[in-house]
Structure 1
């Protein structure tokens, strides 16, 4: 049966951010729903009543930090507040299912250190009911992602990710149906940008539209589904295309569009919803059974900010990890004479002191001809006056391995061309270098942007071989870098140190970090 959607006012496209004051303390932690009980059952083990004619979905996404985030003049997020906000809605309507959209590993210092497991621990306590994968959940490889799934007391789904053998990444997990109240809700999960993770060569990312159609067809062939919800890692424009191509979809939970605000829009009468980044909000969607129809109400937003009273048990978990991080990361490694900054993501388009420092660290560790750091992998600044272990891991939170490889000059030139190809879009593959210099023109035609390449002060010889200290992410083709595909590994990833470890060791050896711009990268008209 096709769901009927209510749209607010006469507007087709709608953007809203409705703050809901929540302050009640969590009184009971519910176990996640993993399967719908028989039609005759009264309630399931989470207290979800089968007689309720209204089902509530609570959606959130982007869980890189376990505690509150203090940025942009705002105090938001934290799993303790999230728990209270969810339980407040559950108190109002026990027929509530909590959906996580993905990204609980990588992307931050906390994520880099703990690789997502504390977030799974918290979500188990809160009672998350379903999770989709974000690309950052694969930042530490497929084995780590599988361990996250194994540690979860809630199911994960993906409709378009296959393993290297061509099998669904989650067994029997290309879709799922949950009965929430009297509503049978079918979920599909879609993920993109897998090529930007270290698992890019270990997964197959299938076409989203084809995968959505196949999953829905398979799901509906197995039984009744009242409403179909797509949980995606896509931005709004891609979700619009998805809904136009797959009209069976009744609602879409998508990737965050803004760090500090939730976004709700419409494609026709299908709501497209995105919560704030870093647990800053929940999107609430109510679906009611009315005279045989299933009505999707206009969504609303539940803020998860300083107005929410933290759950005491989850607050203890936050404080435990905060104390552990403070103890382990506070060691001072060096003083900072010249701040290592990255204003407006400058390391994705020009030479920066931060980029020089990191590329120098990689090159020094292996004694290579060239040090290479991808600008998109530099995730934090180090303004000083002290440089600590925390700074090293904040700058490089993805746990990439600094390999030592040998390539021809021609391949090195190709890698540079690949690296500057996406500069107009602030592509993450932009090369920050050490022991080498180059010029490029962002307006030149693709494949002809790089010029005046020098290694050790001498012009690059296409026929010569050079050694390069470079993250395995780049060697494996991350951000579209192809020039290292034929590289000989002198120190493979399995034997190489992490990027953060290399940076920390270099800082300790320097004692004083005084890095200046040297003209390593020249930007031409």
Structure 2
């Protein structure tokens, strides 16, 4: 279906501030003519990971973009009007574009593409639950979630724990599952319930209140978890899941249930054709008979071979120009390049790590600044430090919180954070106001030595203030020592990490950082 592109400017200015959303469990029938005999009874087109509105040029490949997506979808719809488009989630945060625009332009673009149903990805909550509700309210399509609830146990989307859409002659039931909410700004306001239990409950409720010929799970889970889901919930006929490879679509099977993942950054569509089997009719469990259907997956590439939709291509170009102008703002001079050769921030002190940890510490006036090395995603070689550098270094829209922790808790966190250094684990701590030595070859629990804060030896019985992201405070990368910390600046009041970095660059004016022995690597 083709919908007019309309509200981007107003949405960006106001962000709607809508506090509630209501979607019905059973959606109105789609008024589409029946397909010809040699065509599928119905077709589902699935994609997810829509952080970037324009094409992505990575790994020597030119992929994605909403203009190509629109063409790919309409090409299928022209051959079979009994087609529905399913979005698997993640359109806010996670990248430069997502961090700057918070998903608002993507919703407007997906309205134009003609999305029929969406599930949530964790990045859709990077800017909190109220903003996620704003995105839902701005959508011409319904969103569902079967396993996300408010802290009071109520479904995040009222009436939207499942949905049924009629796609041509086929009633397709959908459930939606999302994980990793603890890594987002909504962690304190949402409860992520067990996916298998939630799926079973949603399917049971769906079958008790509606009729469905085929039931599809739309998840933000990788293949291993989706195999478990398909085994645990035998009513499922297909599972759309999270991307497994940036440049490759993946289709696996659990029995006869296809488990499908498209490429990241809208690099492909999964096409699921639903065909009516020849022969008899089966009892459906609803006290009547119905046709039996089979599902058959395939892949449609969304790459340079697809002609972009002209209207949406203009939108892509407009945002590219606007981003370039915004991100070119010079915040500071770079006297010493902030480099991270071969991801050294995952194993040793770097100037880049020092600068970001200093920024976090300065933001709250904390005793310690802490940033996980795996969270540093770009370098800043200079000679200028721009807003683009700040958002490239920290593209995930994490929030910089402040907590008060005991010395024992801080020491335990350091031990946890260096535990996977030999595997280049992302939790390795770059620090400010703190110094430590570690030996990767020492026994677990005794790798960290010679810890000091403010030049004085760490006192396990004393307390210290720490500025770190919600990801670290919440136990990301296995860091456990902050679990019982007193929260001084909670998630809802914490600034976005890229904005903290940008503010620090403006404040110092000239970036001149040289590793000074905060981290010592021992044999």
Q: Same fold (TM over 0.5)?
A: yes
In structure 2, the residue corresponding to 1:308 is in which secondary structure? coil
- Cα distance, 1:349 vs structure 2: 4.2
Change (3 A) 1:209 1:367: closer
- Cα distance, 1:78 vs structure 2: 0.7
Structure 2 residue corresponding to 1:307, chosen from 301, 305, 308: 305
Q: Is the 8 A contact 2:120 2:143 kept in 1?
A: yes
Alignment of 1:498-517 (within 5 A): 498-517=496-515
Q: Is the 8 A contact 2:247 2:263 kept in 1?
A: yes
- Cα distance, 1:319 vs structure 2: 2.0
- Does 2:62 correspond to 1:64? no
The match for 2:431 is 433
- Cα distance, 1:238 vs structure 2: 1.4
Change (3 A) 1:406 1:212: closer
Query: Residues of 1 paired with 2:427 and 2:375: CA distance?
Result: 8
Structure 1 residue corresponding to 2:247, chosen from 260, 269, 292: 260
In structure 2, the residue corresponding to 1:298 is in which secondary structure? strand
Query: Residues of 2 paired with 1:30 and 1:284: CA distance?
Result: 25
The match for 2:191 is 204
- Cα distance, 1:29 vs structure 2: 4.1
- Does 2:387 correspond to 1:389? yes
Query: Residues of 2 paired with 1:36 and 1:202: CA distance?
Result: 27
Greater Cα shift, 217-226 or 97-106 = 217-226
Alignment of 1:246-285 (within 5 A): 246-285=233-272
Map Cα deviations across residues 416-461 of structure 1 (whole Å, 9 max, x no partner): 2343355567655432111212234556565444332122333211
Map Cα deviations across residues 99-146 of structure 1 (whole Å, 9 max, x no partner): 111111111111111111111111111110111111111111222212
The match for 2:129 is 142
Greater Cα shift, 68-77 or 361-370 = 361-370
Change (3 A) 1:492 1:134: closer
In structure 2, the residue corresponding to 1:220 is in which secondary structure? helix
The match for 1:166 is 153
Query: Residues of 1 paired with 2:497 and 2:456: CA distance?
Result: 28
The match for 2:466 is 468
Query: Residues of 2 paired with 1:368 and 1:466: CA distance?
Result: 8
Greater Cα shift, 95-104 or 138-147 = 138-147
Q: RCO greater where, 1 or 2, for CA within 8 Å and sep 6 or more?
A: 1
Query: Residues of 1 paired with 2:205 and 2:48: CA distance?
Result: 26
TM-score of the superposed pair, with normalisation by structure 1: 0.86
Query: Residues of 2 paired with 1:89 and 1:30: CA distance?
Result: 19
The match for 2:318 is 320
The match for 1:21 is none
Query: Residues of 2 paired with 1:144 and 1:424: CA distance?
Result: 39
Q: Is the 8 A contact 2:26 2:210 kept in 1?
A: no
The match for 1:455 is 453
- Cα distance, 1:523 vs structure 2: 4.6
Q: Is the 8 A contact 2:94 2:396 kept in 1?
A: yes
The match for 1:6 is none
Change (3 A) 1:364 1:227: same
Query: Residues of 2 paired with 1:426 and 1:233: CA distance?
Result: 25
RMSD across aligned positions (CA): 2.8
Change (3 A) 1:146 1:36: closer
The match for 1:17 is none
- Does 2:120 correspond to 1:133? yes
Q: Is the 8 A contact 1:113 1:397 kept in 2?
A: no
Alignment of 1:90-101 (within 5 A): 90-101=77-88
Structure 1 residue corresponding to 2:412, chosen from 391, 402, 414: 414
Change (3 A) 1:177 1:365: closer
Query: Residues of 1 paired with 2:327 and 2:54: CA distance?
Result: 17
Structure 2 residue corresponding to 1:218, chosen from 186, 205, 227: 205
TM-score of the superposed pair, with normalisation by structure 2: 0.86
Query: Residues of 2 paired with 1:493 and 1:189: CA distance?
Result: 26
Greater Cα shift, 423-432 or 167-176 = 423-432
- Cα distance, 1:467 vs structure 2: 3.0
Query: Residues of 2 paired with 1:490 and 1:222: CA distance?
Result: 46
In structure 2, the residue corresponding to 1:325 is in which secondary structure? helix
Gaps of 5+ in 1: 1-26
Greater Cα shift, 162-171 or 342-351 = 342-351
Change (3 A) 1:192 1:493: closer
